[in-house]
Amino acid sequence: MKNLKFLLIIFLSFGLVNCESELDIEPAQSVSIGAALGTADGVKKVLIGTYAEAGQSSTFGGYSHIMSELIGNDDEVSWEGTFLAPREMFTKSMLSDNGLVGGHWNNSYEVINQANLVLDNSSNISDATERATVEGEALFLRALTYFDLVKFFGGVPLRTAGVTNYGADLDIARSTADEIYAQVISDLTDAYAKLPTSNGEFADRYAAQALLARVYMQQGNYASALVAANDVLQNSGHSLASSFAGAFNNDSDGPEDIFAFQVTSQDGSNVLISHYADQPYGGRGGDIVVDTYRTLFDSTSDVRLGFFYYSGFNGGILTRKYTNEYGNVPTIRVAEMHLIRAEANFRLGSSTGLAPLTEINALRGRSGAPALSSLSLDLIFNERQLELGFEGHILHDKKRFGKSIAGLPANSSRLVCPIPQSEMDSNSLMTQNPGY
């Protein structure tokens, strides 16, 4: 079934059927993977399809954000919807047949396989510069996806070659989390070397470097995170939007978007709208309400405190970060790089780029929040919540800072997703996460 789905994607993207030609070799109803990837144009079209696959709702079109927020929150947000799968996440009672978990896993490996196929066939691109860019983008997408998987599941199967024969023995054991992190870092390092400094709405050198800063931070490698974040802030040309509101609901990438998944009325997916927005904005009326979250703010002058509205459907308080049904999905923002650099400097006792207190206060100043007189790790953690709330960071941040979640320690097995039951049934070498 996955093979058929992939062939369908290739067929739709190529439009190569010509029933009038007697020279057609492939059946008129399909294009083989070999034929599809046998030309430079074909490889590049499959790469575009990989972006589209990664931007599906099950992963970076929204549920990667939502899963983190639901699993990682205590009472800052509340799940008010009727769907069982997200409620299991919110109550930390996931089962191995959870639909969101299964969808996330399957979509992630579809992205990885398509990225692998691009890399396997990139030699069909004769122009060296063009080939390097295509390879860099595929490496970025593979790294982004594996990093997401390792944060939710721990060690997972590591595939670095494309699969085209789904009738073969595809059973594969899990790699360790350390092995997945090593692959992610290797991919992003290679991507940084191959990608141009600017690449339109696609991944460029600084998207790879920004993601690498996030990866290093999650590992606790603060020195490397500092170098990567500082490089992005000093050299990428990206900057904070002039207002906090300007960072969200954009139809095209703004100055703060280091990387975002593109959404239009015809293409892309922004499921964040479905769950965070009220009905007039194309949502379900606010499945996720954020009443208690607002108590985290320390000043009424902070415009981020006012970046909410009341739902006319359930009376809850909703974030204004997601009110444009066809707005792009922010994936990496400049604000996060400032927070990474400030935290890394604070932990290391350094002042690369800016002193950490100065950097935090500059970010707060954009939103009209008063300057802090001193800094601590708890204040940095809180500032990440205020600035990056509902953007998919909270579970991973709380684990990184060792914060308890709903009375559970940060290393609780209930805060790790189960391996989907479908994977357990089909892969004889797979082992389940503890507690499931």
- Which structure tokens are listed for 135? 């390879």
Q: pLDDT tens digits for 52-108?
A: 999 999 999 999 999 999 999 987 889 999 999 999 999 999 999 999 999 999 999
Residue 168 and residue 235 in one domain: no
- Which structure tokens are listed for 93? 């009672």
CA triple 135-137-140, angle to 5 deg = 110
Q: For the chain, what is the mean pLDDT?
A: 92
- In the numeric block, the tokens 């049904």 are attached to 325
Provide the number of structural domains found in the chain: 2
Residue 138 and residue 226 in one domain: no
Question: Nearest Cα to 10, choosing from 42, 52, 53?
Answer: 42
User: What distance in Å separates the CA atoms of residue 377 and residue 182, rounded to the nearest whole number?
Assistant: 27
Q: Which pLDDT value is given to residue 313?
A: 85
One DSSP character per residue, 191-204 reads HHHHS-S--TTS--
Q: Which pLDDT value is given to residue 31?
A: 65
In a domain, 432, yes or no: no
Q: Which pLDDT value is given to residue 25?
A: 44
In a domain, 204, yes or no: no
Tally Cβ neighbours within 10 Å of residue 174: 20
User: What distance in Å separates the CA atoms of residue 92 and residue 107, rounded to the nearest whole number?
Assistant: 22
Q: Quick check: helix, strand or coil at residue 430?
A: coil
Domain holding 234, by residue range, is 220-390
Residue 64 and residue 119 in one domain: yes
Show the 3-state SS of 40-64: HHHHHHHHHHHHHHHCCCCCCCCHH
Residue 264 and residue 136 in one domain: no
In a domain, 231, yes or no: yes
Note whether 268 and 57 are within 8 A (CB): no
In a domain, 316, yes or no: yes
Question: Nearest Cα to 143, choosing from 73, 218, 71, 89?
Answer: 218
Q: Which pLDDT value is given to residue 30?
A: 58
Q: Quick check: helix, strand or coil at residue 332?
A: strand
The secondary structure of residue 369, as a DSSP letter, is P
Residue 158 and residue 239 in one domain: no
What percent of the chain has pLDDT above 90?
A: 84
In a domain, 434, yes or no: no
Residue 241 and residue 189 in one domain: no
Q: Which pLDDT value is given to residue 230?
A: 99
In a domain, 278, yes or no: yes
Tell me the CATH number at 381: 1.25.40.390
Rg over CA atoms, the chain: 22
Note whether 340 and 209 are within 8 A (CB): no
In a domain, 156, yes or no: yes
Q: Quick check: helix, strand or coil at residue 310?
A: strand
Q: Which pLDDT value is given to residue 1?
A: 36
Q: Which pLDDT value is given to residue 167?
A: 83
- Residues with pLDDT less than 50, the chain: 1-26, 28
In a domain, 292, yes or no: yes
